[in-house]
Amino acid sequence: MNREVKLCLVYRDMWQSSGKFMPSGKQLEKIAEPIINMGCWDRIETNGGGFEQIQLLAGENPNKVLRKWTKPFNEVKIKTQMLERGLNALSMSPVSKDVRKLMFNVKKSQGTNISRSFDGLNDIRNLKYSIEYSIDANMISQSCLCITHSNIHTVEYYINLAKELINMGTNEIAIKDMAGIGRPTSLGKIVKGIKNFSPKTLVQYHGHSGPGFSVASSLEVARAGADIIDVAMEPLSWGTTHADLLTIHEVLKDDGFTVKDINMNGYRDVKNLTQEFIDENLGYFINPKNRFMNSLLIESGLPGGMMGSLMSDLEKSLSSLNKWLSKKNKETLNINVLFSMLLDEVKTIWPIMGYPPLVTPYSQYVKNVALGNVILGIKGKEKWGLLDDNTWDMLLGKSGKLPGSLGKEINNLALKLNKSFYNDEPQNLYPDKLEDLKIEMKEKDWTLGKDNEELLEFALHKNQYIDYKSGKAKESFNKMIEKSKKTLVKDDNIDSKNLKVNSTIIELDNSKYKVEYTIDDLKNKNQYMSGIEVLSPLEGKFYLTKNSNQSQVKIGDQIKKGDTICYIESMKVINAIKSEHSGKIVQICFENGQEVFDDDVLFILN
């Protein structure tokens, strides 16, 4: 009998790589049985990554959703897997050891069998606790090699990394080709090197299809000994997601591998239900450009899992930037031009920032700096002026050891800002915090939940959890849906070259729709007091403090040029906003949580 290659449906990642939101709990329950009926799956990716945050943002409790979502797969012995971020667990920022340990116990109790753990810098110090805690929780520990392409990230580099992880006790290795830029022959050599070292270690390949390598890569890794291939399926395959099940299935069969037969009735049911979810509302958050492959991604290396949110963020940035350009009587830009400028800047700054593999959260950091540099350049300002605290933590070694050396631009800026580099183990920077969080929840009269699962949500996604509990998240989500419905105008004969500044195209069910929108000034110029204006350097949500323990500025405070006076949450990171002027605050123009746009007046000083 020919060697069998198994298949995993990355249902969570299909959505995350396509758009901003994913199906609701009821929708996931509805589609579980049809997925099972397809008969070809050994594994389903059910959760992890952005799953928790996305459910909270949509006003749902991810704990209740996950228990119901994994249950049908557990009952028929299809293994469920999650994706976790090592030092960051399921968060965008580092968390303490006690939070990390609790996470594995909770996820196991909720029906997750396999923990796919990765560190965005490939620093194994950040994975040792993931391996230990997942095994202690009776989960399968799968450790990732985050694939990228540079003179540092060689075949030998990845084979040696896998050897270290296997020696640390991990059960499996995942080839995490998050941008799909791994060259097929090199990926095959990596898998062969792993199998030569440890023949019994299961190897699973995960490759996004964006640049076009993934079908060839899937075949090469299978020939080299890979055991499981991750795939997507219509209507969310290809583009920034993953190669399609039907294609990979036939390629493997034709090469002589044994793969389980597909029940095509089940396939059609899953396809139709997924399309139904898109048509109901989730299509509003899927940029049509994410449905296409793009070989320009080979050079930039931006990952597929980020592209869903990237295009949404880019449209907001474009609107904000065009608003500024219009005020200056300058020619506005379109999304294609801004996207190309972003890709070029990512390619330029990646070596300067130490060659971090472009995977969450470091892909967001590099992308945000690149976009900030592009915007600053358009405005005639110096680059590197929008580095947030999380990005600095990565550059300074607080998130782990960078694969390469920093460029002189970063070293000079660190010296100018009196930044200190850190060489110790990153986890030591984050003391245990669960006991303090329990006290906070008790003060709010909130239950810790079954197996402390509510405590875990509060620990990992505090702001989103608070908005969920208050009902604010659900209200905001419903408003977004209603706004999208009102502004969607069908037009199958759209000329994309002649779109208005504030318009975009969405394609749903083979029809084109033009969405026209306006961005009203959040404050009328005449409402401002006279004085020195402190302007917003980017769009996002305005906050006076980064966390509840921090003191906020107030009217009457005297501030100096360079002081941090507020924060703007933009593109998944919190940006500290520093005043470009000195003076006394006489007016605060926004409230916490309000949307601000590039060049909006935040404060008035005198």
- Examine residue 520 and state whether it is found in any structural domain, yes or no: no
- Examine residue 100 and state whether it is found in any structural domain, yes or no: no
Q: In what order do the strands lie in the sheet with 601-605?
A: 532-535, 601-605, 583-588, 558-559
pLDDT reported for residue 29: 97
Q: Which secondary structure element, helix H or strand E, spans residue 527, and what is its range?
A: none
Identify the band that residue 399 occupies on the pLDDT scale cut at 50, 70 and 90: very high
pLDDT, tens digit (0-9, with 9 covering 90-100), for 145-171: 999 999 999 999 999 999 999 999 999
Task: Let me know: does 29 contact 35? Beta carbons within 8 Å.
Answer: no
- For residue 469 the two structure tokens come to 């509990």
Instruction: Give the count of domains, the chain.
Output: 1
pLDDT reported for residue 500: 45
pLDDT at 122 over 90: yes
Q: Pairing state of beta strands 172-177 and 202-207? A: parallel
Q: Pairing state of beta strands 228-231 and 202-207? A: parallel
Q: Pairing state of beta strands 558-559 and 202-207? A: unpaired
- For residue 269 the two structure tokens come to 């049911």
pLDDT, tens digit (0-9, with 9 covering 90-100), for 420-448: 999 999 999 999 999 999 999 999 999 99
pLDDT at 296 over 80: no
Of 319 and 260, the one with more pLDDT? 260
CB-based contacts of 470, cutoff 8 Å, min separation 6: none
pLDDT at 208 over 90: yes
pLDDT at 508 over 50: no
Q: pTM value?
A: 0.82
* Percent of the chain residues past pLDDT 70, beyond the cut: 91
- Examine residue 586 and state whether it is found in any structural domain, yes or no: yes
pLDDT reported for residue 304: 64
Q: Which secondary structure element, helix H or strand E, spans residue 157, and what is its range?
A: helix 155-167
557: containing domain: 525-605
For the stretch 169-204, what's the b/e string if a residue is b when 16 or more beta carbons lie within 10 angstroms of its beta carbon? Answer: ebbbbbbbbbbbbbbbebbbbbbbbbbeeeeebbbb
Identify the band that residue 522 occupies on the pLDDT scale cut at 50, 70 and 90: very low
3-state secondary structure of 56: helix
CATH of the domain at 577: 2.40.50.100
- Examine residue 579 and state whether it is found in any structural domain, yes or no: yes
3-state secondary structure of 466: helix
Give the C-alpha separation, 188 to 207, whole Å.
13
pLDDT, tens digit (0-9, with 9 covering 90-100), for 347-379: 999 999 999 988 878 888 898 899 889 999 998
- Examine residue 387 and state whether it is found in any structural domain, yes or no: no
Give the C-alpha separation, 282 to 138, whole Å.
35
- For residue 451 the two structure tokens come to 């197996």
Side-chain-side CA neighbours of residue 126 (13 Å): 27
What does pLDDT average to over the chain? 89
- Examine residue 531 and state whether it is found in any structural domain, yes or no: yes
3-state secondary structure of 420: coil
pLDDT at 174 over 90: yes
**Tokens 């408003």 identify what position?**
479
User: Phi and psi of 88, rounded to 5°?
Assistant: -90, -5
Task: Let me know: does 238 contact 246? Beta carbons within 8 Å.
Answer: no
CB-based contacts of 392, cutoff 8 Å, min separation 6: 419
- Examine residue 557 and state whether it is found in any structural domain, yes or no: yes
pLDDT, tens digit (0-9, with 9 covering 90-100), for 259-285: 999 999 999 999 999 999 999 999 988
